[in-house]
Amino acid sequence: MYQELHKYEKLFFTVLSVVLVIFYAVSAAWIPAATQYHRGIYVLITYIAVFLVYKSNNKYLRILDYLLMTLSAVAVIYWIFNFETINYRAGAETLTDQYIAVIGVILGIEIARRAVGSVFVIIGILMLLYGVYGELAPDLIAHPGDSFLGVCTTIFFREDGIFGIMANVLATYVLLFVLFGAYLEKSGAQRFFIDFPLAAVGHKTGGPAKVAVIASALFGSISGSAIANTVSTGSFTIPLMKKAGFRPHTAGAIEPAASIGGMFMPPIMGAGGFIMAELTGIPYSTIMLVAIFPALMYFFSVFVMVHYEAKRFNIRGEKSPIGAMEILKKEWYYILPLLVITALMLIGYSAGLAAVAGIVSCIVVSYFNKETRIDIKGFIEAARLGTESSLKIGATVGIIGIIISVLTFSGLILTFADIVIQLADGYLWLTILLIALASLVLGMGVPVTAAYLITAVVAVPALTHLGVNVLAAHMIVYWLSQDSNITPPVCIAAFAGATIAEAPMWRTAFSAFKFAKFLYLGPFLFGYVPGFTMQGTTFDIVKAFVLIIIGTFIYSYFLSLAWYPKVKGVFVKS
């Protein structure tokens, strides 16, 4: 998208990117919590950048784009500088306040349409209609409703609206970690994340597939997107798997199945961990510690299934000319940025400050190799790439604000919880299945991070009502929010893997569904085994860990065998 811009537009976008990096990097060191300035500037730059990058093709409509940029600036700047005044006169907003709110809400829908897709427009309009005409809805979900101006005012100015949870988390944590990922990639670390596992296990049974699993665990933990992980590491690992003997649809399936595990892997966990910390009030360092073991079990499950897939067809990789220890001795410093971030957050520093320290360490690490040094030009390029990567998730703040604000305003959050409880008839396993279905349907139209936030708001009360602790309830919803990446019918990460592998889309999708089966087992462990989230005595936790490791191996082993027919005790290709 950036390459299609006019040279002056490129310059403008680059300036926006550098301003974004410097402002949030400097402020994170002194102001750990997001003020209205943090949230407002983030939304402002995101809105302008989306209209700049996702531009209209017609030159006359391009003029409209610049008009929309100006309106975005007017609406957001009005919110920033009237923040306290509007809070004081809540419920008695002026006509100017209301019209500004309408502009802000409509722009939020248009931003999402350009960056994410038309589904968001439909969701946004339906929620607005529900907010206005709530009294016409079925009795079960009816509410008094409000005028269009009143609903837009609630969405744009209240704390649970456009500048609410999503904007707060994005401005405080997520943006800085997306930028960190861009600087880490610029430093040359991505190559190390592939070369090291390639040398370590590339020559073993199913070596290239095991490389995909390990590389996805390393790179996926900081990429923040299963699709980005699939495309980046998959462009190397999928052809390697095909060359070793894996069938195209299998090679295309293993990478996305491994890639979604990066969303569970600390220290970053995509954006979900930060949203979880915001919703629960639990320190992110605690969430990170709880998430480590389940994430490792996910990768262990995929690893075991890959091993027996390869063993069945006698697939082995080629030995790397350079040994794993030799690579580690020469390029160990690429691990430093991740260690810096993890250590700082565990010590107790804010996630934003840890991300800034990580960015600085990436720049320092880049100077260990003269080919990857991040000079002024490299700094600007990384800032631009990071900003561009953040646009899709940033563009969802308007719709997320509409959805959560209307859900809260209408009381549908409690109604949904009651509906789920009644349908499940008090059974936790059935409640988890209903939440899985809801997140799958929601994930078909919105990014998985947005799906998690929306589902968490309505589903966590149902889980806690059944006795699940708050952190485990959020983990259940967060894991299930990833299912739309690899579960048919809409499984974008699996389709991305199929494209790279040049394999049939649906066959690849169902294979990815097979390899990612622990994704569906994990939520039940969160719900039924308190030790899985480090609840209980030390003995309870250790016992749970040991049993889950053994159970995961058996589960993955037999699951890998169950998908293939037997002929006189010998497994054959299906």
Rounded CA-CA distance 160/276 in Å is 15
Q: Residues 6 or more apart from 41 whose CB is under 8 A from it? A: 23, 80, 171
State residue 233's pLDDT score: 79
Residue whose entry in the numeric block shows the structure tokens 């804010």: 350
With DSSP H G I counted as helix, E B as strand and the rest as coil, what are the percentages for the chain, rounded to 5? 80, 0, 20
The one-character DSSP state at 140 is G
pLDDT confidence of 49, banded at 50, 70, 90?
A: very high
| Confidence (pLDDT) at 71 | 95
The whole-number pLDDT of residue 96 equals: 93
Q: What is the pLDDT of residue 440?
A: 81
Q: Cβ(274)–Cβ(341) under 8 Å?
A: no
The number of CA neighbours under 13 Å toward the Cβ of 353 is 14
pLDDT at 32: 60
User: Is residue 296 scored above 80 in pLDDT?
Assistant: yes
Encode pLDDT of 51-78 as tens digits: 998 888 887 888 999 999 999 999 999 9
Distance between CA 348 and CA 268 in Å, rounded? 15
C-beta of residue 483 within 8 angstroms of C-beta of residue 436: yes
Is a pLDDT exceeding 50 seen at residue 567?
no
Q: Identify whether the C-beta of residue 571 lies closer than 8 Å to the C-beta of residue 561.
A: yes
Least confident of 100-109, 164-173, 560-569: 560-569
**Residue 205 forms beta bridges with which residues?**
316
pLDDT at 220 exceeding the cut of 70: no
Give the model's pLDDT for residue 570. 38
CB 526 within 8 A of CB 472: yes
| Residue 369 DSSP label | S
Residue 47, pLDDT score: 92
Name the β-bridge partners of 571: 566
All residues at 6 or more sequence positions from 381 whose CB lies less than 8 Å from its CB, including other chains: 186
Cross-strand pairs, 316:
205
Q: pLDDT tens, 536-553?
A: 888 888 998 999 999 888
- Asked whether residue 117 carries a pLDDT value surpassing 90, the answer given is no
What is the pLDDT at residue 221? Answer: 66
Share of the chain above pLDDT 90, in %: 28
Categorize the per-residue pLDDT at 2 as very low, low, confident or very high, splitting at 50, 70 and 90. Answer: low
What is the crossing angle of helices 336-347 and 175-186, to 10°? Answer: 150
pTM, full prediction: 0.82
Q: How far apart are CA 105 and CA 117, in angstroms?
A: 17
- pLDDT computed for residue 444 by the predictor: 67
Q: Are 50 and 391 in contact (CB under 8 A)?
A: yes
Q: What is the pLDDT of residue 180?
A: 87
Give the residue, 558 or 163, on which the prediction is more confident: 163
Q: Which has more pLDDT, 567 or 109?
A: 109
The distance of Cα 172 from the centroid of its chain, to the nearest Å, equals: 16
**Per-residue model confidence as pLDDT tens digits over 124-165:** 899 999 999 999 988 888 899 899 999 999 999 988 889 988
What pLDDT, on a 0 to 100 scale, did the predictor assign at position 361? 94
pLDDT reading at 574 higher than 70: no
CA-nearest of 285, 293, 284, 286 to 265 is: 293
- Domain positions in the chain: 2-165, 169-394, 413-571
Question: Does residue 393 surpass a pLDDT of 90?
Answer: no
For residue 337, is pLDDT > 60?
A: yes
Smallest CA-to-CA distance from 478 within 279, 255, 210 is with: 279
Class of residue 544 by CB neighbours under 10 A (exposed 0-12, middle 13-18, buried 19+): buried
For the stretch 372-386, pLDDT in tens is 889 999 999 999 988
pLDDT of residue 438 exceeding 50: yes
What is the distance, to the nearest Å, from the Cα of residue 547 to the centroid of all Cα atoms in its chain?
29
- Average pLDDT of the chain to the nearest whole number: 85
| Three-state secondary-structure class, residue 4 | helix
**Gap between the Cα atoms of 481 and 442, Å rounded:** 9
Contacts of 375 (CB under 8 A, 6+ apart): none
**For residue range 205-214, what is the model confidence (pLDDT) as tens digits?**
888 888 888 8
Q: What's the pLDDT tens digit per position in 229-259?
A: 787 778 888 888 888 888 999 999 999 998 8
Asked if residue 504 has a cis previous peptide bond (ω within 30° of 0), the answer is: no
pLDDT higher than threshold 90 for residue 417 = no
Q: Which of 224, 171, 221 is nearest to 385 (CA)?
A: 224
The whole-number average pLDDT for the span 262-272 is: 81
What pLDDT is stored for residue 57 in this prediction? 80
pLDDT score recorded for residue 569: 41
Out of 22-36, 176-190, 398-412, 468-482, least confident range = 22-36
**Highest-confidence segment of 395-399, 400-404, 467-471:** 467-471
What are 567's strand-pairing partners?
Answer: 570
Kindly tell me if the per-residue pLDDT of 556 is higher than 90: no
Q: How far apart are CA 405 and CA 158, in angstroms?
A: 8
